[in-house]
Amino acid sequence: MGQPLLASARPSHTALLCGIARARHQLLEGGEIFQDPLALDILGPAQAAQLREAVDGDGPQSRRKDAGSFSQAMRGALVVRSRIAEDTLHEAVAGGATQYVLLGAGLDTFALRNRWPQGLRRVFEVDHPATQEWKRGLASQAGLAMPPAATYVPVDFERQDFMERLVAHGFQRHERTVFAWLGVTMYLAPAAVEATLAGIGAQVAPGSVVVFDYVRRPEPAEWGRQLALALMGRRFRRLGEPWRCAMGDAELYGMLARHGFDPAEVMTPATIRSTLLAHQPATLLQRALGGLLGGIVRARVAAPAPAKPA
């Protein structure tokens, strides 16, 4: 979860929380949903040591205390979306995609893992300059270096054209691309969300795919969801990174159709619980958290409509 929108000079706190969640998944669940061998390293030695000590010190008791917790519920949601994004990448590269763009990359380690699928030529990490500089420092401390074909692209989504910045850093518009846009839409102004989708739909090769998650706006009668959303919103406001965008389903589908995408595939929380999370019973907190999220969307850039005969 990167934060490309912050105007301040500090890195994203939510990017750190997301990185910690991925690392705890490796320690507590053995990476059973999402394998990330660098998830601890990218946090820096002090944070990594603290996490290991917290888990190893309590042993099985740590896992028992975590069961059914908010931390476990949030962690599950975060690692599932990373798994879906990278599964989508492997499928798309097998079908001819050559580029991977992480919009709001945060502490994602894909580029650093050197396990790229054959045929993937370039990886671009797009994020707010402050968050990106912080990550580069952490990677340096861990002795991790970006491979030559991977590039950091500093962008403020609400003040700069991210497509212009990508092209300036070597992005090829005519090559099929996978965009992973995880944990970002809810922090942006709605206009910035639409502008991002418009930029992808209008300026990249047909067949390119964007994977993103979103917060679903509650219906007027959904009092429970409205309360839960208010509580989550307050939690993130206190971190200085408030949720700013929620969308109804019709609004989401209309936006994608307007900007040149084929009908989207939406993996709802219920679908995810019955597939990737089917091995474990859903807790009350997982169900409550899932009710806030619209799910994970995969949308493909449509081919241009054939020209009408004269």
The 10s digit of each residue's pLDDT in 176-235 is 999 999 999 999 999 999 999 999 999 999 999 999 999 988 777 777 777 777 877 788
Q: What is the pTM of this model?
A: 0.89
**Residue 89 identity:** L
Domains located in the chain, CATH noted? 13-300 (3.40.50.150)
Residues of the chain with pLDDT under 50: 1-8
Contact present, 211 and 180 (Cβ < 8 Å): yes
pLDDT confidence of residue 307: 62
Integer Cα distance of 102 and 108 in angstroms: 8
pLDDT confidence of residue 1: 42
Integer Cα distance of 6 and 237 in angstroms: 13
Coil, helix or strand for 299? Answer: strand
Contact present, 15 and 109 (Cβ < 8 Å): no
% of residues, the chain, pLDDT over 90: 60
Residue with tokens 């959904």: 222
pLDDT confidence of residue 308: 67
Integer Cα distance of 221 and 204 in angstroms: 40
Integer Cα distance of 94 and 28 in angstroms: 32
| Pairing status of strand 265-267 against strand 150-154 | unpaired
Integer Cα distance of 58 and 11 in angstroms: 31
pLDDT confidence of residue 289: 58
